[in-house]
Each structure stands twice: as structure tokens, then as C-alpha cells.
Amino acid sequence: MNHSITSHPCDNVSLAQLTELAQSGNSEAQYILGRLYNDERIDGSEEDKLSFYWLQQAAEQGHCEAQYWLGLRYKDTPTGHER
């Protein structure tokens, strides 16, 4: 199975396929899922939690853009609000 992602993976990959790639450890897929869920999130919602989770997974693997977006999420999180 080829784990490469095109520049616009949502055009060529279903959410299920993207999730499968992310679960297999693909940091780019994790980042993209994090951003997709971020765009749909309402604080405290399931999308909010999924966004944070996938951005964190990608960031821990050294994905620079995920680290940036995760930093923004922390910046916007009220003090004492746990994830």
C-alpha cells in the first residue's frame, strides 16, 4: 500500500482512507485530519477533541506545521482547561 499523500489529499482520499493512514502513523495524514477537524470544531465538541488528538500525534513525530497549529490550540485554551 502506498502511503504517500498528494498536495490536496482530500481531493483523492476519503475520510476513511485518511483516518486509516493517520492510524498507521502517517504524520501528514494526522496533520490533515487535525486541520479538518479544527475547521469543524466547537470548543469541547468531539471535533475539538479529534482535532487536538491528531495535531498532537503529528506534532510528536516532528511535523512542523502540526507543531505550529498545536501551539495555537494551546494558546487559545483557557488556563486549567485539560485536553
pLDDT tens track, the chain, 83 positions: 444 444 454 556 788 999 999 999 999 999 999 999 988 776 678 888 999 999 999 999 999 999 999 999 888 876 544 54
Report helix, strand or coil for 76: helix
| Distance of alpha carbon 46 from alpha carbon 68, whole angstroms | 21
Please identify which residue in the block is written with the cell numbers 468531539: 46
pTM: 0.75
| Distance of alpha carbon 16 from alpha carbon 82, whole angstroms | 28
